[in-house]
């Protein structure tokens, strides 16, 4: 799930822009709305910052292995069920991760 998200160009660009508070982002989605939406971003929360850090490491690292420790710690704060390293469904991680970042908007 995290590897797929790190390869999503729109998410990478939004995370890059979200890191700078006060930025206005233009979101174009012809499927949802005919005209582009302008969204003013506030200070990103810890989960969003951790996701930005992870995606950046995935794109820039040459060492081959990236450990999402901080991202996992932030997900665990939003969803206690992930603590303890029990096996979880990937769609649950995706849901909690995206919902957690959305609530930080």
pLDDT in tens, 9-47: 888 888 887 777 677 777 776 666 778 777 777 778 899
Q: pTM (2 decimals)?
A: 0.76
50 pLDDT higher than 90: yes
- Locate 32 and state its tokens: 């949802």
Res 31: pLDDT: 66
Sign of the C-alpha dihedral computed for residues 23, 29, 30 and 34 taken in this order: negative
- List the chain domain ranges: 1-103
Directed axis angle between helix 46-60 and helix 9-18, to 10°? Answer: 130
């Amino acid at each position: 799930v995290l590897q797929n998200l790190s390869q999503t160009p729109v998410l990478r660009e939004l995370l890059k822009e979200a890191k700078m508070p006060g930025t206005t982002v233009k979101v174009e989605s012809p499927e949802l709305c005919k005209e582009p939406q302008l969204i003013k971003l506030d200070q990103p929360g810890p989960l969003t910052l951790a996701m930005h850090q992870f995606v950046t490491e995935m794109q820039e690292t040459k060492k081959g292995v990236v450990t999402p420790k901080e991202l996992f710690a932030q997900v665990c704060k939003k969803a206690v069920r992930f603590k303890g390293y029990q096996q979880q469904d990937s769609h649950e991680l995706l849901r909690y991760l995206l919902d957690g970042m959305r609530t930080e908007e």
